[in-house]
Structure 1
Amino acid sequence: MQPLSDRTAGFTDSVIRRMTRISNQYGAVNLSQGFPDFDPPKAILDRLAEVAHEDYHQYSITWGAQNFREALAAKQTRYMGRTIDPNSEIVVTCGSTEAMMTAMMTVTNPGDKVVIFSPFYENYGADTILTGAEPIYVPLTPPEFTFDPEVLENAFRQHPKALILCNPSNPCGKVFTRDELELIAGLAKKYDVYVITDEVYEHIVYAPHTHTYFAALPDMWERTISCSSLSKTYSVTGWRLGYVIAPAPIIERAKKVHDFLTVGAAAPLQEAIIPGLRFGQDYYDDLLAKYTHKRDLFCKGLDALGLVHNVPQGAYYVMMDISEFGYDSDLKFCEELAAKVGVGAVPGSSFFREPVNHLIRFHFAKKDETLNDALNRLETLRGKIPARAAR
């Protein structure tokens, strides 16, 4: 038999999804894979029930149903600060995962270089491999996850085709400041580089931090491919509704890439989510208040247990330092955390290009009772996994 593809030979399964399976195996509270355990908004669920008995069960237009794109364009016009054309500047995808792959395949050729901040969401590395691109990693330094401007410019000096910007960041919750974004924008313009953004947590940014859409910066619309999804904003991670927003010439190419990747996103779900896209500002204020409360509940709980962690500026993840436990392998620690303590987490090494093995990621998109259950279990952590020399 001939060998399978070289480009996928080094692939492992998703560590995030693996930790969900391990959590399920041991009956652990799953704070690894970032999905809520509470319902989406009632207006969306009510519309979903209606759609089941209406005529939305066949293919929609491959790049998105007309009314969905119009509702999405109206919402993003409001928040991005520029008029988005629903017909020429949007393509609807099967989640932001496909949106990112569509953007990468639209922009890059095999052998092109792509700048990625580390830590990074695990799919970005896979995306570069699948498209035949070469990643250039620029470290974000804990605990504030800042970057060195000179190191970043050194990456740009290697003539990359694109930079991937996750803002707010998964896994570390960093929100890039306006000054940082303008510095990146200046380099993108200077070196003629596209910027592919992942902004799925755009509405989960904690005060006093604010979200700046990269495409809204001066002179950046023409070179920005904005990717996002509705999963986190409306608590519908299983619906797989994402999108790419970009200038018309880029979207024209992206439509073709998307068509041959997945044909189209689920037609009934595009229709059912429209009430959410028409929510007023009060919904987004309530969403932020909900997650601010959950962040504070979980972080204060970790503080009470004397567990060292960062405080996220956005998104719904916390990185906890496990140095005191003396593990050489954060994966082994997470496996034992699930098995012995009953709490699921993701090893930080799956997000870092650098040899970082002392951080793990929790998420707090859970009901209060779920978070309290996890904290109660973590209270037994030092008794069940005592600190010791490296192992």
Structure 2
Amino acid sequence: MDPAAPPSFAARADDLQQSNIRSVTRRVNEVDGINLGQGVCDLPTPEPIKACAHQALRDDASIYSHYAGIEPLRRAILKKEQAHNEVPAPSPEDVVVGVGSTGVFVSAAFTLLEDGDEVILFEPFYGYHRNILELTGATIRYVPLGGPESMFDRAAMEAAVTENTKAVVVNTPANPSGKVWTREELSTLVDLLHDHDLVAITDEIYEYMLYDGTEHVSLASLPDAYERTITLSGFSKAYNVTGWRLGYGVAPAPIAEKMGLMNDLLYICAPRPLQHAALAAFEDLDDEYVAQLQADYAERRTLMCETLEAIGFDVP
């Protein structure tokens, strides 16, 4: 045996490579370029959130939290999901706080899926979704769904569903396409969830990034959908704390309990001082903050689109 030879890897690690998103970021940084490839928020973290983080550190709120998150934060998330998203979650036991929305997606995927299962993923897709789903051992069935003007095709999804299909991943507003699912499209999807006994995992991290009069609708808010839906969101994009890694999931208590236990196994808990800081997002920031956030990003969107058009690109 060659002592210099590398150890053998688990099959799940053999093909792992740096994500395209971070690879592009690294290469852009090397030439001091403008990064349009990664969801990097260039707005400042709101002062109330930073102040609460400082206070939590001064208070030594630094020991492990409950694996599903501190109860005040779970209650605040529950209230927000009920009031803003109209999700009929009844209890903080339905809420799991994790290490970013991606970390909660990992917990959800590993709770639901295993070898032999199939999952529907709409393309173009967020690369982390695909790579995480592959790690579960499940087989991915791809269904085309284009950009903002594209409509969900029920027949295309039904053609991809088999007796082994267990779940479907919905990203709305979608990264990278910008597609925002309409209420009618989501209602059609609910019918399919019931027809084929499926569970939906919805990634709604960009729920406030809306333009041109579009409306964000949470799948779980629709009639007869909550019991079959895991709703994911977080703080990174709306509150400019991408490096804090704080996200959450809302699901029926039996699912949320298993996700919390998976979260415990994988991460123990989300960073506790930052969980206390996140409370300020609900206690000290209001609709005016969200409106300003949307205006700031609309200004950046206009600048980007007009600049690209001015140098010869066709921007949808």
TM-score tier (shorter): over 0.9
Deviations 1:7-38 (CA, angstroms, capped at 9, x unpaired): 23222211111111111211112222211223
Structure 2 residue 180 is matched with structure 1 residue 183: no
Q: Is the 8 A contact 1:113 1:136 kept in 2?
A: yes
Of the three residues 221, 224, 234, the one matched with 1:229 is 234
Between stretches 281-290 and 196-205, larger displacement belongs to 281-290
SS of the equivalent of 1:137 reads: strand
User: Of 296, 299, 303, which residue of structure 2 is paired with 1:293?
Assistant: 299
Matches of 2:163 and 2:152, distance apart in 1: 17
Using the alignment, how far apart are the partners of 1:55 and 1:10 within structure 2?
A: 42
**8 Å CA contact retained: 1:229, 1:243:** yes
What is the SS of the residue equivalent to 1:31?
Answer: coil
Match of 1:126 in 2: 131
* 1:85 CA displacement: 4.3
Kindly indicate whether residue 70 of structure 2 is the aligned counterpart of residue 65 of structure 1: yes
| Amino acid corresponding to residue 295 of structure 1 in structure 2 | R
**Per-residue deviation, residues 158-194 of structure 1 (Å, max 9, x unmatched):** 5410000000000011101112111111111110100
CA deviation vs aligned residue, 1:104-144 (integer Å, no higher than 9, x gap): 11111211000000011101111121111000000113573
- Show the counterpart of 1:172: 177
Aligned to 2:170, the other structure's residue is in SS state: strand
Consecutive unaligned residues of structure 2, counting only runs of 5 or more, are: 2-6
Identity %: 37
- Structure 2 distance, partners of 1:287, 1:39, is 11
Equivalent residue number for residue 167 of structure 2: 162
2:87 touches 2:218 (CA, 8 Å); kept in 1? no
Q: The residue matched to 1:153 in structure 2 has which SS?
A: helix
Find the aligned partners of 1:136 and 1:37 in 2 and give their Cα distance: 35
Q: Which residue of 2 aligns with 1:305?
A: 311
> Offset at 1:52?
2.3
Contact kept in structure 2, 1:138 and 1:147, CA below 8 Å: no
Aligned counterpart, 1:216? 221
CA–CA separation in structure 2 for the residues paired with 1:302 and 1:281:
31
The answer on whether the counterparts of 1:231 and 1:240 sit within 8 Å (CA) in structure 2 is yes
Q: 1:237 to 1:216 in 2, by over 3 A?
A: same
- The partner residue of 2:265 within 231, 248, 260 is 260
4+ residue segments displaced more than 4 Å: none
Counterpart of 2:4 in structure 1 is none
- Provide the C-alpha distance between the structure 1 equivalents of 2:205 and 2:77, rounded to a whole number of angstroms: 14
Question: C-alpha root-mean-square deviation of aligned residues, in Å?
Answer: 1.7
Q: Distance in 2 between matches of 1:157 and 1:131?
A: 18
State the alpha-carbon separation in 2 of the partners of residues 3 and 150 from structure 1: 43
- Measure the CA separation in 1 of the matches of 2:160 and 2:178: 23
Q: TM-score, normalised by structure 2?
A: 0.93
Given that 2:87 and 2:226 are in contact with CA atoms closer than 8 Å, whether structure 1 keeps it comes out as: no
Distance 1:255 1:266 in 2: 15
Separation in structure 2 between the aligned mates of residue 84 and residue 4 of structure 1, nearest angstrom:
42
Q: 1 CA distance for matches of 2:208 and 2:41? A: 15
Q: String of CA shifts for 1:339-378, please: whole Å, max 9, x gaps.
A: xxxxxxxxxxxxxxxxxxxxxxxxxxxxxxxxxxxxxxxx
Match of 1:135 among 131, 135, 140: 140
1:87 CA displacement: 3.0
The partner residue of 2:290 within 272, 284, 303 is: 284
Secondary structure of 1:163's counterpart equals: strand
In the alignment, which residue of structure 2 is the partner of 1:347?
none
Give per-residue Cα distances to partners, 1:74-118, cap 9 Å, x unaligned.
222211214534531001100011111111111112110000000
* Residues 1:143 and 1:90: Cα distance change in structure 2 (over 3 Å): closer
Give 1:32's aligned amino acid.
G
Match for residue 122 of structure 2 among 110, 117, 123:
117
Per the alignment, in what secondary structure is the counterpart of residue 208 of structure 1?
coil
Give distance in 2, aligned partners of 1:33 and 1:82. 29
- Check the 8 A contact 2:148/2:178 in 1, yes or no: no
Distance 1:174 1:142 in 2: 5
TM-score by length of 1: 0.76
